[in-house]
Structure 1
Amino acid sequence: MNIVVDSGNTFSKIGWFEGKKLIRYTTHLEFPELIRQIRAELPEYLLFSSVGRTNEEFQTALSEPVNIIGLTPETPLPILKNYETPQTLGADRIAAAAGANFLFPDEDILVIDMGTCITYDIVDTSATFQGGLISPGVRMRFGAMHTFTKRLPLVEPEKEPELIGKSTRQAMQSGVMNGTLAEIEGIIERYRHNYPSLRVVLCGGDAAFFESSLKPPIFAVPELVLIGLNRILTYNVSLQ
């Protein structure tokens, strides 16, 4: 059994794999609970990806004899990177691209990851990460309207709001949610000019708000980042 860890600034996500198969996963773990769960069932190999902690800090906290691979810009990958600033490339973006290429090899893929920010990334038929674009996520958009105005409330996202809002809250819901939907549809269409057979894969915490509204074929793979991290892990194990 292998374990992959996607550790954010506050919470972590952990996935247990048997070979290529995701057995189970847990989200929203604080660091002490993450360590406790790993100690309860030590894996053969573990990949640790973090935006806030180093691999050395993680190894010290775990203090168990586990083969740990830390995901850094220098970690060997099963896909290529055609990116001018690889040192600044987020681990989630490259992991999602690796996961998409694993699930749909030999295809041009647009990965849309809907988290704090929305990232749109291309991995092409040559298994090369070509880059993409980053835009504000839905909660960031709601938060910006509340923060930078005097009277607009802080609103939580809702699924499929009416296009014409009849109150301020409804108008904000429509502006963010329908505006984000229009953004996604427009960007997919523009990418398809360059990649006519483009496959679109949707992931991230806010994907559920939009997957039923997008025109098919859109493939929703909620745990794409974990799948990609495991693909990177198994690739590195094969190099040993």
Structure 2
Amino acid sequence: MLLVIDVGNTNITLGVFDREELKATFRMTTQIARTSDEYGIILSDLLRVKNIQVEEIDSVIVASVVPKIMHSFTSGIIKYLKITPLIVGAGTKTGIKIAASNPKEIGADRVVDAVAAYELYGGPVLVIDFGTAITYDLITEDGSFIAGVTSPGLRISANALWNETAKLPEIEIAMPETILAKETVTSMQAGLVFGCIGQTEYIVKRMLEESGIQNCRVIATGGLGKIISDATDVIEVYDPNLTLKGLKIISDKNKSGR
């Protein structure tokens, strides 16, 4: 079995593939101050809860945007799973060409999403990841990553709203029944959610206009992406496991290349 791991700024998302089947998924918070033993024990326990024995895992792939935890995290995998993981980075075979001035600046998670969107849905494709940050990445028909836009995620915007104002409360991020809010909580929800919808529609439209790309598929993923994708016609598919699938694809490409 293959263990795929996406280390994000807020959460670490994990999946286990048994050949082509995504057998289980897990989430844990991304914490800087964990030892390799803590990471190893948590990973082992999560697997056992899903009736997966540590010994059944024969390979591991990791994409990370949090360098500070990687020494302890990788050491925990090696110590408890007895496997040296493949870390997505420079030199990893992906099948995507990064047409940027500095390809190393493109986060591993964005590369993984681009690979998954291109391989599963074809090109040209624009993939939106509603994570801690919202990223919009454009991949051409021949698999070239040509442009990316980054904006604050919904939770970042929400935290700024209630942390930087004296009287606004901390609220649940949810779709209100109407934009015509009549009290504080729904007015904040309307501003956050409808503001994000408007941003999404405008950025998608502008990226496609400036690139001149037509017949482009738009694929979304990320924790809060379902709220936005359900409320706009510009998103064609919401795939909550896109990143995990991308890690599986990259793992397969690198196994076949060895």
TM-score > 0.5 by shorter chain? yes
2:104 corresponds, among 87, 93, 108, to 87
Q: Does structure 1 retain, via aligned residues, the 8 Å contact 2:2–2:18?
A: yes
Q: Does structure 2 retain, via aligned residues, the 8 Å contact 1:46–1:67?
A: yes
* Residues 122-133 of structure 1 aligned to structure 2 (within 5 Å): 122-133=138-149
User: Which 5+ residue runs of structure 2 have no aligned equivalent?
Assistant: 31-38
CA offset at residue 200 of structure 1? Answer: 0.5
CA distance in 1, matches of 2:207, 2:157: 24
2:225 corresponds, among 207, 223, 234, to 207
CA offset at residue 55 of structure 1? Answer: 6.2
Is 1:33–2:69 an aligned residue pair?
no
SS state at 2:86 partner: strand
Q: Does structure 2 retain, via aligned residues, the 8 Å contact 1:161–1:178?
A: no
Q: Which moved more, 1:130-139 or 1:209-218?
A: 209-218
Aligned residues: 239
Amino acid corresponding to residue 16 of structure 1 in structure 2 = V
Q: Does structure 1 retain, via aligned residues, the 8 Å contact 2:219–2:237?
A: yes
SS state at 1:99 partner: helix
Q: Does structure 2 retain, via aligned residues, the 8 Å contact 1:13–1:25?
A: yes
User: Which 5+ residue runs of structure 1 have no aligned equivalent?
Assistant: none
2:214 corresponds, among 186, 196, 207, to 196
Q: Which moved more, 1:110-119 or 1:82-91?
A: 82-91
Given the two structures, how large is their TM-score scaled by the length of structure 2? 0.83
Is 1:98–2:107 an aligned residue pair?
no
Amino acid corresponding to residue 3 of structure 1 in structure 2 = L
CA distance in 2, matches of 1:3, 1:161: 40
User: Aligned pair in 2 of structure 1 residues 72, 189: CA closer, same or farther (>3 Å)?
Assistant: same
Amino acid corresponding to residue 140 of structure 1 in structure 2 = I
Is 1:6–2:24 an aligned residue pair?
no
Deviation string, structure 1 residues 58-115 (Cα, Å, up to 9, x no partner):
145532443531122332222111122322321111111111011023x211101001
Identical residues among aligned pairs (%): 28
Residue 126 of structure 2 corresponds to 110
* Residues 85-234 of structure 1 aligned to structure 2 (within 5 Å): 85-105=102-122, 107-193=123-209, 194-215=212-233, 218-234=236-252
- Find runs of 4+ consecutive structure 1 residues off by over 4 angstroms: none
CA distance in 1, matches of 2:88, 2:217: 27
Q: Which moved more, 1:72-81 or 1:54-63?
A: 54-63
Given the two structures, how large is their TM-score scaled by the length of structure 1? 0.89
Residue 15 of structure 1 corresponds to 15
User: Aligned pair in 2 of structure 1 residues 57, 143: CA closer, same or farther (>3 Å)?
Assistant: closer
Residue 62 of structure 1 corresponds to 78
Q: Does structure 1 retain, via aligned residues, the 8 Å contact 2:221–2:242?
A: yes
SS state at 1:210 partner: helix
CA distance in 2, matches of 1:217, 1:184: 9
CA offset at residue 23 of structure 1? Answer: 2.7
| CA RMSD of superposed structures (Å) | 2.3
CA offset at residue 27 of structure 1? Answer: 1.9
CA offset at residue 53 of structure 1? Answer: 3.1
Residue 35 of structure 2 corresponds to none
SS state at 1:159 partner: coil
User: Aligned pair in 2 of structure 1 residues 58, 169: CA closer, same or farther (>3 Å)?
Assistant: same
CA distance in 1, matches of 2:168, 2:235: 36
Q: Does structure 1 retain, via aligned residues, the 8 Å contact 2:201–2:234?
A: no
